[in-house]
Amino acid sequence: MLKKIAVNQLTVGMFVHGFEESWFKHPFWRNRFAIKDAATLREIQASGVKHCLIDLSQGEDVQAQKPEPPAPASPEPKSEPAAPKRERVPLSDELQRAAQLRARSADTMRHMFSEVRLGNAIEPSVCAPLVDDVVASINRHPDALLSLARLKTADEYTYMHSVAVCALMVALGRQLDFDDAQCREAGMAGMLHDLGKAAMPQDVLNKPGKLSAEEFEIIKQHPVRGYEMLRAGGAVSKAVMDVCHHHHERYDGTGYPDKLAGEQISLLARMGAVCDVYDAVTSDRPYKAGWDPAHSLAQMASWKGHFDQNVFQLFVKSIGIYPTGSLVRMRSGRLAVVLEQNSAVLTKPRVKLFFSTKAGLPLKPQVLDLAAAHTTDQIEAREPPEKWNFPYLTELWDADAALKQA
User: Model confidence over 22-45: pLDDT tens digits?
Assistant: 555 555 555 678 888 777 787 777
Residues 45 and 95 in one domain: no
The tens digit of pLDDT for each residue in 265-311 reads: 999 999 999 999 999 999 887 777 888 888 899 999 999 999 999 99
Are 134 and 233 within one domain? yes
Residue 348 has pLDDT above 60, yes or no: yes
Spatial neighbors of 8 by CB under 8 A, at least 6 apart, are 45
Same domain, 286 and 362: no
What residues does 353 pair with on adjacent strands? Answer: 336, 366
Residue 68 pLDDT > 60: no
72 lies in some domain: no
Residues 36 and 172 both lie in one domain:
no
Q: What does 193-255 look like in DSSP terms, one character per residue? A: TTGGGGGS-HHHHT-SSPPPHHHHHHHTTHHHHHHHHHHHH--S-HHHHHHHHHTT--TTS--
Q: What pLDDT score does 72 carry?
A: 44
Residues 179 and 288 in one domain: yes
**Is the alpha carbon torsion for 355, 388, 384, 208 positive or negative?**
negative
Contact 69, 60 (CB under 8 A): no
pLDDT over 70, % of the chain: 88
**How do residues 226-273 score in pLDDT, each as one tens digit?**
999 999 888 899 999 999 999 999 999 999 999 999 999 999 999 999
Q: Residue 342: its pLDDT value, please?
A: 87
Does 49 lie in the same domain as 101?
Answer: no
Q: Nearest 5°: CA angle at 162, between 352 and 172? A: 60
Average confidence (pLDDT) over 354-363? 94
| Percent of the chain clearing pLDDT 90 (strictly above) | 54
The pLDDT value given to residue 140: 93
Rounded CA-CA distance 326/201 in Å is 34
Does any domain span residue 339? yes
Q: Note the pLDDT of residue 266.
A: 97
Q: Based on the fold, state whether residues 152 and 263 are members of the same structural domain.
A: yes
Write out the residue range of the structural domain in which residue 176 sits. Answer: 91-319
